A and B are shown apart, each in its own frame.
Chain A
Amino acid sequence: MLKESTREIQKMDKGNLPAVPEQTRPGPIYTPAVDIFENDDRISLLADLPGVLAKDLKIDLRDNVLTLSAQVTRPESANETTILFEYESGTFFRQFTLSEVIDQAKIDAKLTDGVLKLELPKLERARPRQITVKVS
Chain B
Amino acid sequence: MLLRRVWPSRPAFENPFAELDQLRREMLRMFDTVAGNDSAREISAGVFPPMNVAQDDNNFYVRAEVPGISAKDLSISALRNRVSISGKRVIPQENERVSYHRKERAEGEFSRTVTLPGEVVADRVEARYSDGILALTLPKAEEAKPRQIAVKN
Task: Please list the residues of chain A having a beta carbon within 8 angstroms of any beta carbon in chain B.
Answer: 4-16, 18-19, 28, 33-39, 44, 46, 48-53, 75-77, 79-88, 111-115
Contact = CB atoms under 8 A, between A and B. Distances in A.
Contacts of A113: 67-70, 129-132
Interface of B: 13, 18, 22, 25, 29, 33-34, 36, 38-41, 43-57, 60-61, 63, 65-70, 88-91, 94, 96-110, 114, 116-117, 129-133, 135
Given A51-B132, A85-B52, A33 B65 contact: no
Given A38-B101, A112-B68, 4 more contacts: A9-B108, A28-B29, A39-B98, A51-B131
B104 A81 contact: no
Given A5-B108, A115-B67, A11 B50 contact: yes
A48 B103 contact: no
Nearest to B57: A79
The residue in A19, A50, A79 that gathers the most chain B C-beta atoms within 10 A of its C-beta is A50
A34 B90 CA distance: 15
Q: Max chain A CB contacts within 10 Å: which of B38, B51, B57?
A: B38
Contacts of A84: 51-53, 114
Contact of A79 (B46, B56, B107): B56
Nearest to B131: A114
B106 A38 contact: no
B53 to A, nearest CB: 4
Nearest to B36: A18
Contacts of A111: 131
A36 B102 CA distance: 5
B145 to A, nearest CB: 14
Contacts of B68: 48, 112-115
Contact of A49 (B29, B108, B132): B132
B54 A83 contact: yes
6 contacts: A37-B94, A50-B66, A75-B63, A80-B61, A82-B54, A113-B68
Contacts of A18: 33-34, 36
Contacts of B130: 113
Contacts of B57: 79
